[in-house]
Amino acid sequence: MNPGAAAVLVVDDVAENRDILVRHLRRLGIGSIVEAENGVEALAATERRSFDLMLLDITMPELDGYEVLRRLKHVANPADLPVIVISALSEIEPVVRCVELGAEDFILKPFNPTLLRARITATLEKKGLRDLTREELRRRRAELEEARGLQLALVPPKYRATHHGRSISIDVALEPAREVGGDLADHFLVGSDRIVLVLGDVSDKGAGAALVMARTHALLRGLALRPDAIKIFGCPERAVDIVNRALSLGNDRCMFVTMLLAVLDTRSGRLSYVRAGHIPPFVGRSDGRHERLSARGGPPLGLDENAVYSSTTVRLHLDDHLLIVTDGITEAMDASGQLFGEERVRLLMCVPASAETVERLVSTVRAFESGHPPSDDVAILHLRSETPT
Q: How many domains are there within the chain?
A: 2
pLDDT exceeding 90 applies to what percent of the chain? Answer: 62
- Of 145, 170, 186, the position where a domain reaches its end is 145
| Backbone φ, ψ for residue 156 (5° rounding) | -70, 155
Q: What is the mean pLDDT of residues 38-52?
A: 93
| CB contact set of 78 (below 8 Å; sequence gap of 6+) | 72, 102, 104
Rounded Cα–Cα distance for residues 363 and 175 (Å): 12
* CATH label of the domain that carries residue 77: 3.40.50.2300
Alpha helix ranges (H) inside 235-276: 236-248
Residue 150 lies inside a defined structural domain of this protein: no
Residues 81 and 167 placed together within one structural domain of the fold: no
Q: How confident is the model at residue 16 (pLDDT cuts 50, 70, 90)?
A: very high
**Between these two residues, 307 and 150, which has the higher pLDDT value?**
307
Nearest to 196, CA basis, from 162, 165, 168, 215? 168
| Backbone φ, ψ for residue 99 (5° rounding) | -65, -40
Hey, is 34 helix, strand or coil?
strand
C-beta atoms surrounding 7 within 10 Å: 15
Does residue 181 surpass a pLDDT of 80? no
C-beta atoms surrounding 222 within 10 Å: 13
Does residue 219 surpass a pLDDT of 70? yes
Range of the domain at 60: 3-145
Q: What pLDDT sits at residue 295?
A: 78
Residues 136 and 175 placed together within one structural domain of the fold: no
pLDDT exceeding 70 applies to what percent of the chain? Answer: 98
Q: What pLDDT sits at residue 274?
A: 97
Residues 62 and 172 placed together within one structural domain of the fold: no
Rounded Cα–Cα distance for residues 281 and 298 (Å): 15
Residues 326 and 192 placed together within one structural domain of the fold: yes
- Please tell me the pTM assigned to this model: 0.73
Angle of CA points 54, 59, 65, to nearest 5°:
40
Residues 261 and 374 placed together within one structural domain of the fold: yes
Residues 32 and 127 placed together within one structural domain of the fold: yes
Helix (H) or strand (E) holding 74: helix 65-75
pLDDT tens track for 245-280: 999 998 888 899 999 999 999 999 999 999 999 999
